[in-house]
Amino acid sequence: MSCRTKLKTSFLSAKTSNCYKLTLSIVTSVILTAGTLPAAFAHELAKVHQHIFLTEKPQNKSAGPLSVSKAQLLKNTRYYPSSALAYQIAPPMTIVPPAKKVIAPPPRRNDFVKDELLLSYDFGTDIDAVKAITEKYNLKRKGGMAIKSVRKGVVIADTQGQNPLDLQDLINKAEKSFKATTNNFYTPAATRNFKLDYPLAQTGVGRARTISRGKGILIGMVDTPVDLTHSALRGSNIEQHSIVDPKTAESKVHGTSIAGVLVSKHPQIGVAPDAKLLSVSAFSSRPGHPNALRGKSTDIVAAIAYCIEKNVDILNLSFTGGKDSFVESIVKEAVRRGITVVAAGGNRGRTNSTVYPAVIDGVVGVTAVDRMQRRYQKADKGRFIDIAAPGVDILTLAPQGRYQKSTGTSMAAAHLSGVMALLKEYQHNYESSQLNQTAIDLGRRGRDIEFGNGLVNASAALRQLGAPLPF
């Protein structure tokens, strides 16, 4: 019998002796009292186990593996490469769930007039009820307006330090006869720059103008004031009406550039030079920021309502803003009356955005492309984009007799409105949806969120109506 086998036998037989039981009892008491064994004692026990569990093969192969008796199994006997008694039983494992990701709420809007709220109500509402609602919510009347086209009255109220967003939610939940909205800001959707331009031949406008120049069509333009003294506007049929007129040169930049694309007599700029333009100014420069233009919901609604009353054929809205039920109601009324409403698709580079007023049902949302028919890189994308038009590095007018290059969906919207004027002169009941049949497909095949139905093609659209245009 080898030394290893003798030791195993001696150790196993010793385990059954009273001496072993006494030793185990003493060791257990020490562990329970001190939590561990004295280092020297643990070391001695470890040496015994190290001797028992040699990894080399036994010389006596017939010895076989150590067997464990049922009694040992019941006592959950375990053998370790070092002293079993030197180990402590670990506590149960605690599973700690991952911390929930805290998503910060989006910042609250600030694109509205501070401390101002709009209360709209139906014509016929008792005046005492209007006064009562302002008193109930501690509002101070600043002004009012009547929108005949939608038969609505509007109170412009000072919130007297109350948060307009909170008040808006509170009133709309509690009141049925009144609709509360903030007086939101809108901004023109164009950027000035000075790069080379490209010809209007891209959309067939040059060829189309040999047949139609927009005569007899009235285009409504809600924008900034227009510098009517520009030489390229001499002879143009423009009527100007001011909702807002700050009478500064800077405030006329955007409106003059849009008017130039719509009706300028300059052969490289004006798309529909014989159309009549109703220019309604609703935008002004921000105080201290002459180049930063914005318009309020109230002024925009008043301007659109004025265009509706004047029976415009086309309404050009080259501006963008956030969701606005007040503006939406007047735009929908224009669509309901058969006016072709054209709006800029936005220049913030967002996907599936909600750009007002382009996102409103029935409005033609226009994106911008460059001379290579590539989408303007900052143009918004979404299902509301219906069609594309030139809008990058567009040669147009500037105040004080100057010219400039402008980029943005504002310019594309104006181009599209001009094309609609050409088509409506030839067939007055022409619908904007008919443009989709002759548009030049761009991007993915068929309609997509980047180009809509494709690039507008004025000459192809006229040809489809039977106009004698050569291919």
Percent of the chain residues topping a pLDDT of 70: 74
Confidence at residue 249, expressed as pLDDT on a 0 to 100 scale = 78
Residue type, 315: L
For tokens 């497909």, what's the residue?
Answer: 441
Which of the four pLDDT bands, split at 50, 70 and 90, describes residue 98? low
- Angstrom distance (rounded) from CA 406 to CA 390: 11
In the sheet with 218-223, reading across from the earlier edge strand, the strands are 237-242, 276-281, 218-223, 314-317, 340-344, 364-369, 385-390
**Tokens representing 129?**
């009820």
**For the segment 242-290, what is each residue's pLDDT rounded down to a tens digit?**
998 887 878 899 999 999 999 999 999 999 999 999 999 999 887 777 6
Supply angle C-alpha 193, 248, 266, rounded to 5: 50
Helices (H) and strands (E) in the chain, counts: 12, 17
pLDDT tier at 39 (50, 70, 90 boundaries)?
Answer: very low
Query: Are the C-beta atoms of residues 456 and 246 closer than 8 Å to each other?
Result: no
Among the ranges given (108-112, 334-338, 346-350, 361-365), the one the predictor scored with the smallest mean pLDDT = 108-112
Q: What percent of the chain has pLDDT over 90?
A: 54
pLDDT bucket at 429, cuts 50 / 70 / 90: very high
Between helix 3-15 and helix 39-52 the angle, nearest 10°, is 130
164-213 residue pLDDT tens: 988 999 999 999 899 999 988 887 776 655 443 465 889 999 899 999 99
Length reported for the chain: 471
Q: Any idea of the CA torsion for 54, 55, 56, 60, to the nearest 10 degrees?
A: 60
pLDDT at res. 9:
43
What would the 3-class secondary structure string for 140-158 be?
EEEEEEEEHHHCEEEEEEE
Domains and CATH numbers, the chain: 3-86 (no CATH), 112-177 (no CATH), 187-464 (3.40.50.200)
Which residue type sits at 104? A
Query: Phi and psi dihedrals of 437, rounded to 5?
Result: -70, -25
401, 245 in Cβ contact below 8 A? no
Mean residue pLDDT of the chain comes to 81
201 or 29, which is more confident: 201
- pLDDT at residue 82 in the model: 45
Nearest CA to 344 out of 191, 156, 188 is that of 188
Q: Which residues of 165-176 are buried (b: 16+ CB within 10 A; e: fewer)?
A: eebbeebeeebe
Q: What pLDDT sits at residue 81?
A: 47
pTM of the model: 0.71
pLDDT-based confidence at residue 226 (cuts at 50, 70, 90): very high
pLDDT of residue 453: 96
Contact 400, 415 (CB under 8 A): no
390 in Cβ contact with 368 (< 8 Å):
yes
Q: What are the tens digits of pLDDT across the range 142-153?
A: 888 888 888 889
Q: What is the pLDDT of residue 114?
A: 82
Q: Can you give the pLDDT at residue 62? A: 52
Cα 160 to Cα 163: distance, rounded to the nearest angstrom: 9
The partner residues of 405 in beta bridges, in order of sequence, read 193, 395
Q: Is the pLDDT of residue 228 over 50?
A: yes
Note the pLDDT of residue 335: 98
Please name which of 331, 348, 347 lies closest in space to residue 339, comparing C-alpha atoms.
331
In this predicted model, what pLDDT tens digit does every residue of 12-26 receive, in sequence order? Answer: 444 444 544 544 455
Residue found by looking up tokens 């509301």 in the block: 384
Type of residue numbered 178: F
pLDDT tens digits, residue range 356-405?
Answer: 999 999 999 999 999 999 999 999 999 999 999 999 999 999 999 999 99
3-state DSSP assignment of residue 386? strand
Strands 191-193 and 140-147 come out as unpaired
Q: Tell me the per-residue pLDDT of 56-65, one tens digit each, with 9 for 90 and over.
A: 444 555 555 5
